[in-house]
């Protein structure tokens, strides 16, 4: 039988691959393909021959594959078919032990079999296909393209699922009884199940799933609580076998809710165990990366482009999604994927290390406020350099091209001339599609289509942003620190050349960081900046765009030393009155609303300034905003929800030795039956109760009184973040609001700040 439709979900089950197809008539069909994953083992021919004779490896065969991405000749390796992913890991560990951890090299061990199925079959999620069921399995005909930007998606039925519990404690737990179930569609509540009997509520949920037959279920906490909770309650009530919410006839599993903590870009993060609904798509926005920022449109784009099953793509890190794209290109080339990466850094002497370990192009900002500064941005600079210069783990210092004319500046590393690297190949589709989405967004009139294109390009941008850092990541399959170093070297060379071109045309470099320039030229017109961009594009063949001219821009100094500039903390307003901020409180996810509101209102006032002189004149008015917020805090009228602070835990609560607010709050949650792990976010309110100085919102009661003075400190610190280059540090601002000296701050002109307002240049000291 033939079917036409879109690949919605797939997974490995009972030694075969199950694929759910969303057909053109809106129905779903379950297809099964007797396909099993294969692992590969390298070693000496004699050792492999002995291994093939062992019991349990009767189906092993010899095949010719490339063991490394840079190999020019195939190697003879052993191929073994296994029943599933878990069996692959178990077998590999046994054979590794048998070979005394030195005889054999293992490949294709930990690649999820649904992904490998897509790679081998040349398919991808949400691809439009024709599938024919035959006696030997499923025959596929692809009718879609990953390169397309105007692809058609199936009409998906989407609901949002929420539950409420009858709390035993202040924090909800698995012991609570189910109070009600809520279904929402298009932000409107469509169904509420709240009968008196708990069994009826759970079975009513099952019936609602059957009746509505949703394709996409969106939750907030579905992985960490909702589905594990429902399974526990169903088990306790003896109806677990009836709790079938997926399209596959399998009840929801009862499992220990134990995610894992991991280290990424200097932070400890936490990921919950995934609760999958077979045949449907469960997207937990609290455990999502792409969809949380770019919506389902961005998630579907990443899943299609990177060839990652949707439910896995929604929870995977950006690096994992990007890796999937690299694995696909490796499989296409018959390159084996190592179980444990083994590409060490090339040995360097001390001189080479000094030259190599310099990072990208950095020009420290001139601290303070500047008028008429133009900003130039290089679009996806590092991914572009990696693609254009063929920078990949196997291409930098390759053994096949020692005399290559392509060399890394300053370091003289050779770069492969014979073949494109896996990393550049993977980046090409991301760069091409994002450029096409951005171009299309500028030309379309339809606002919905414009939003769609924007979300898709934003999702691809996240992957491109991470691609450079991932190139040097120790666990990147096809990365290598030498390729990372080479990318930095090319960046320094090209940006140095671009800066020289700008200076030759009379521009002064005010600040430069990695892929952006801030330039100043007295009375420069917009066309002069655009001409400079054209010159850079023509001379260096780099994608560069002119972002605009700022009326004024403030480059901020370090909180620790007011004479040291910070690379990524600034704010300014363009000539079209668009505000751009980086690194200040309004941009931070952990900022309490009271601080965000105050800083936003201050910026609303300051952005009325047309130049730096007007900016200085508006400072007293901005400080009145601070005064008003301080007064509101002190009279006790601020809602508690505006005072919530969010922090990440770098350890488990019981591992902290110091009593800092977020650990105190975490321990309160644990005491109330909550589950808190390293990498999770903890919310809390600062209180005046010395026995519990930080209280999670979940355990707030009518006796909770916030600590106004600690929040005043936060407001003063936030204001100093804006005005430190103008002479206002946190200590001075705090002195304006000493409770012992005055109930309300004095008027700005009485604080002797007027001499500062009319100075023509930045002053770093405190106002005098």
pLDDT at 764: 30
31 CB neighbour count, 10 Å cutoff = 20
Banded model confidence at residue 739, pLDDT cuts 50, 70, 90 = low
Instruction: Clarify whether residues 735 and 674 are in a common domain.
Output: yes
Lowest mean pLDDT among 193-202, 251-260, 417-426: 251-260
Residue 50: domain span: 38-110
Average pLDDT for 106-119 = 97
pLDDT at 255: 60
Q: Is 264 exposed, middle or buried (0-12, 13-18, 19+ CB in 10 A)?
A: middle
Q: What is the CA radius of gyration of the chain?
A: 30
Residue 765 lies in a domain: no
Instruction: Clarify whether residues 252 and 374 are in a common domain.
Output: no
Average pLDDT for 210-230 = 94
Q: Are 310 and 7 in contact (CB under 8 A)?
A: no
265 CB neighbour count, 10 Å cutoff = 9
Interaxial angle between packed helices 447-471 and 381-388, expressed in degrees from 0 to 180 and rounded to the nearest 10: 60
- Which of 75-79, 377-381, 539-543 is modeled with the greatest confidence? 75-79
At 566-575, the pLDDT tens digits run 888 999 999 9
Residue 289 lies in a domain: no
At 280-322, the pLDDT tens digits run 999 999 888 888 889 999 999 999 999 999 999 999 988 899 9
At 20-46, the pLDDT tens digits run 999 999 999 999 999 999 999 999 999
Q: Are 109 and 119 in contact (CB under 8 A)?
A: no
Instruction: Clarify whether residues 174 and 254 are in a common domain.
Output: yes
632 CB neighbour count, 10 Å cutoff = 16
Q: Are 414 and 70 in contact (CB under 8 A)?
A: no
Residue 712 lies in a domain: yes
Q: Which residues of 350-387 are buried (b: 16+ CB within 10 A; e: fewer)?
A: eebeeebeeebbebebbbbbbbbbbbbebbbbbbbbbb
pLDDT: which is higher, 112 or 476:
112
Instruction: Clarify whether residues 599 and 748 are in a common domain.
Output: yes
At 170-184, the pLDDT tens digits run 778 888 999 999 999
Give the largest Cα separation in the chain, rounded.
92
User: For residue 119, which of 390, 335, 315 has the smallest C-alpha distance?
Assistant: 335
Q: d(Cα 178, Cα 162) in Å, to the nearest integer?
A: 11
Q: The CATH number of the domain where 658 resides is what?
A: 1.10.132.60
At 672-710, the pLDDT tens digits run 877 788 888 889 999 998 888 999 988 888 888 999 999
pLDDT at 768: 35
Instruction: Clarify whether residues 13 and 68 are in a common domain.
Output: no
User: For residue 413, which of 345, 320, 315, 359 has the smallest C-alpha distance?
Assistant: 345
3-state helix, strand, coil in the chain (%, to 5): 40, 25, 40
pLDDT at 252 over 90: no
3 CB neighbour count, 10 Å cutoff = 16
Question: What is the rounded end-to-end Cα distance, in angstroms, of the chain?
Answer: 85
Residue 209 lies in a domain: yes
619 CB-side CA count, 13 A: 28
Residue 413 lies in a domain: yes
Instruction: Clarify whether residues 528 and 656 are in a common domain.
Output: no
pLDDT at 432: 97
pLDDT at 742: 36
Q: Are 91 and 108 in contact (CB under 8 A)?
A: no
Q: d(Cα 214, Cα 197) in Å, to the nearest integer?
A: 25
Average pLDDT for 82-100 = 94
User: For residue 376, which of 616, 545, 502, 498 has the smallest C-alpha distance?
Assistant: 545
Domain count, the chain: 5
Listing DSSP states for 79-139 in one string gives EEE-SSHHHHHHHHHHHHHHTTTTS-EEES-SS-HHHHHHHHHT--TT-EEEEEEETTEEE
Contacts of 519 (CB under 8 A, 6+ apart): 373, 374, 375, 376, 502, 507, 508, 509, 510, 529, 532
Instruction: Clarify whether residues 86 and 129 are in a common domain.
Output: no
At 430-453, the pLDDT tens digits run 999 999 999 999 999 999 999 999
Contacts of 269 (CB under 8 A, 6+ apart): 261, 262, 263, 648, 679
At 640-671, the pLDDT tens digits run 999 999 998 888 888 888 888 999 888 888 88
DSSP 758: T
Q: Are 391 and 423 in contact (CB under 8 A)?
A: yes
608 CB neighbour count, 10 Å cutoff = 12
Instruction: Clarify whether residues 261 and 194 are in a common domain.
Output: yes
Q: d(Cα 307, Cα 332) in Å, to the nearest integer?
A: 13
pLDDT at 463: 94
End position of a domain, from candidates 519, 549, 578 = 578
Q: Is 740 exposed, middle or buried (0-12, 13-18, 19+ CB in 10 A)?
A: exposed
End position of a domain, from candidates 551, 578, 605 = 578
pLDDT at 68: 94
Banded model confidence at residue 271, pLDDT cuts 50, 70, 90 = low
Residue 428 lies in a domain: no
Strands 694-695 and 158-166: unpaired
pLDDT at 351 over 70: yes
Q: The CATH number of the domain where 257 resides is what?
A: 3.30.420.10
pLDDT at 24: 94
Q: d(Cα 105, Cα 107) in Å, to the nearest integer?
A: 7
Question: In terms of residues, how long is the chain?
Answer: 768
Instruction: Clarify whether residues 646 and 667 are in a common domain.
Output: yes
Contacts of 525 (CB under 8 A, 6+ apart): none
Q: The CATH number of the domain where 21 resides is what?
A: 2.40.50
Instruction: Clarify whether residues 552 and 680 are in a common domain.
Output: no
Q: Are 490 and 360 in contact (CB under 8 A)?
A: no
Q: d(Cα 48, Cα 602) in Å, to the nearest integer?
A: 71
pLDDT at 358 over 90: no
Query: Can you read off the two tokens belonging to residue 357?
Result: 């370990």
Q: Are 611 and 551 in contact (CB under 8 A)?
A: yes
Q: d(Cα 286, Cα 38) in Å, to the nearest integer?
A: 34
Share the mean pLDDT of the chain. Answer: 89
- 95-101 long-range Cβ contacts below 8 angstroms, 24+ apart: 95/41, 95/51, 98/51, 98/54, 99/43, 99/47, 99/51
pLDDT at 528: 97
Instruction: Clarify whether residues 128 and 179 are in a common domain.
Output: no
759 CB neighbour count, 10 Å cutoff = 13
pLDDT at 257 over 70: no
pLDDT at 504: 97
Average pLDDT for 733-738 = 88
Share of the chain above pLDDT 70, in %: 93
Listing DSSP states for 371-426 in one string gives EEEEEEEETTHHHHHHHHTT--TTTBT-SS-TT-S-B-TTT--BB-SSS--HHHHH
End position of a domain, from candidates 578, 600, 624 = 578
Q: d(Cα 664, Cα 660) in Å, to the nearest integer?
A: 6
pLDDT at 263: 46
Query: Can you read off the two tokens belonging to residue 34?
Result: 């007797």
pLDDT at 763 over 70: no
129 CB neighbour count, 10 Å cutoff = 21
Q: d(Cα 94, Cα 172) in Å, to the nearest integer?
A: 43
At 590-638, the pLDDT tens digits run 899 999 999 999 999 999 999 999 999 999 999 999 999 999 999 999 9
Quick one: three-class SS letters along 669-723?
HHHCCCCCCCCCEEEEEEECCCCCCEECHHHCCCCCCECHHHHHHHHHHHHHHHH
Q: d(Cα 643, Cα 345) in Å, to the nearest integer?
A: 48
Instruction: Clarify whether residues 391 and 522 are in a common domain.
Output: yes
Residue 559 lies in a domain: yes
Q: Is 491 exposed, middle or buried (0-12, 13-18, 19+ CB in 10 A)?
A: buried
pLDDT: which is higher, 349 or 94:
94
pLDDT at 254: 67
- Which residues sit opposite 293 in a β-bridge? none
Site of tokens 């060490």 = 344
Residue 199 lies in a domain: yes
pLDDT at 342: 64
């Amino acid at each position: 039988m033939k079917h036409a439709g879109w690949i919605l979900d797939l997974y490995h089950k009972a030694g075969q691959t199950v694929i759910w197809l969303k057909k053109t008539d809106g129905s779903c069909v379950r297809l099964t393909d007797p396909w099993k994953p294969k692992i590969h083992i390298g070693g000496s021919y004699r050792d492999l021959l002995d291994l093939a004779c062992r019991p349990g490896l009767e189906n092993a065969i010899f095949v010719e594959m490339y063991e490394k991405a840079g190999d020019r000749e195939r190697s003879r390796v052993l191929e073994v078919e296994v029943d599933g992913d878990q069996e692959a890991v178990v077998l590999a560990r046994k054979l590794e032990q048998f070979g005394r951890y030195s005889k054999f090299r293992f490949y294709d061990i930990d690649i999820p079999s649904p992904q490998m199925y897509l790679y081998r079959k040349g398919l991808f999620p949400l691809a439009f296909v024709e599938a024919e069921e035959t006696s030997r399995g499923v025959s596929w005909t692809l009718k879609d393209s990953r390169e397309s930007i105007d692809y058609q998606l199936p009409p998906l039925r989407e609901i949002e699922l929420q539950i409420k519990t009858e709390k035993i404690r202040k924090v909800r737990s698995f012991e609570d009884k189910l109070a009600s179930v809520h279904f929402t569609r298009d932000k409107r509540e469509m169904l509420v199940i709240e009968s008196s009997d708990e069994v009826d509520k759970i079975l009513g949920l099952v019936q609602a799933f059957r009746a509505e037959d949703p394709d996409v279920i969106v939750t907030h906490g579905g992985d960490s609580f909702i589905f594990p909770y429902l399974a526990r309650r169903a088990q306790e009530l003896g109806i677990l076998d009836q709790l079938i919410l997926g399209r596959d006839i399998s009840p929801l599993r009862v499992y220990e809710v134990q995610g894992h903590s991991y280290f990424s870009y200097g932070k400890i993060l936490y990921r919950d165990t995934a609760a999958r609904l077979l045949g449907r798509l469960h997207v937990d926005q609290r455990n999502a990366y792409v969809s949380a920022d770019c919506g389902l449109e961005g998630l579907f784009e990443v899943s299609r482009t990177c060839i990652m099953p949707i439910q896995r793509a929604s929870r995977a890190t950006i690096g994992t999604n990007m890796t999937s794209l690299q694995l696909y290109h490796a499989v296409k080339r018959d390159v084996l994927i190592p179980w444990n990466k083994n590409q060490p850094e090339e040995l360097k002497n001390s001189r080479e290390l000094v030259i190599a370990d310099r990072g990208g192009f950095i020009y420290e900002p001139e601290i303070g406020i500047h008028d008429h500064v133009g900003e130039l941005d290089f679009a996806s600079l590092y991914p572009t350099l990696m693609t254009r210069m063929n920078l990949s783990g196997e291409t930098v210092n390759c053994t096949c091209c020692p005399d290559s004319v392509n060399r890394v500046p300053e370091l003289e590393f050779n770069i492969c001339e014979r073949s494109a690297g896996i990393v550049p190949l993977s980046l090409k589709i991301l760069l091409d599609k994002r450029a096409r989405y951005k171009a299309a967004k500028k030309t379309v009139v339809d606002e919905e289509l414009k939003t769609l294109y924007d979300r898709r390009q934003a999702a691809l941008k996240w992957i491109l942003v991470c691609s450079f850092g991932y190139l040097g990541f120790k666990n990147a399959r096809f990365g290598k620190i030498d390729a990372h170093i080479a990318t930095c070297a090319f960046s320094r060379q090209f940006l140095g050349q671009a800066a020289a071109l700008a200076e030759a045309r009379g521009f002064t470099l005010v600040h430069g960081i990695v892929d952006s320039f801030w330039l100043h030229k007295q009375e420069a017109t917009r066309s002069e900046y655009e001409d400079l961009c054209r010159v850079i594009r023509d001379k260096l063949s780099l994608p560069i765009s002119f972002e605009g001219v700022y009326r004024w821009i403030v480059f901020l100094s370090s909180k620790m030393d007011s004479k040291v500039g910070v690379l990524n903390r600034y704010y300014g307003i363009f000539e079209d009155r668009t505000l751009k901020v980086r690194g200040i409180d309004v941009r931070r996810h952990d900022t309490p609303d009271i601080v965000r509101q105050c800083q936003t209102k201050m910026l609303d006032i300051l952005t009325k300034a047309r130049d730096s002189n007007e900016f200085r004149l508006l400072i007293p008015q901005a400080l009145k905003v601070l005064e008003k917020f301080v007064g509101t805090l002190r009279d006790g009228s601020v809602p508690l929800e505006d005072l919530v602070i969010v922090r990440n835990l770098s350890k488990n609560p019981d591992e902290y030795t110091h009593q800092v607010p977020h650990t105190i709050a975490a321990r309160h949650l644990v005491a109330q039956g909550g589950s808190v792990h390293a990498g999770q976010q903890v919310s809390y309110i600062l209180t005046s109760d010395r026995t519990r100085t930080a209280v999670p919102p979940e355990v707030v009661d009518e006796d909770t009184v916030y600590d106004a003075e600690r929040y005043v400190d936060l407001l003063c610190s936030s204001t100093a973040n804006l005005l430190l280059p103008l002479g206002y540090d946190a200590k001075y601002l705090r002195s304006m609001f000493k409770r012992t000296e005055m109930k309300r701050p004095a008027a700005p002109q009485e604080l002797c700040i007027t001499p500062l307002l009319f100075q023509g240049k930045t002053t770093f000291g405190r106002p005098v």
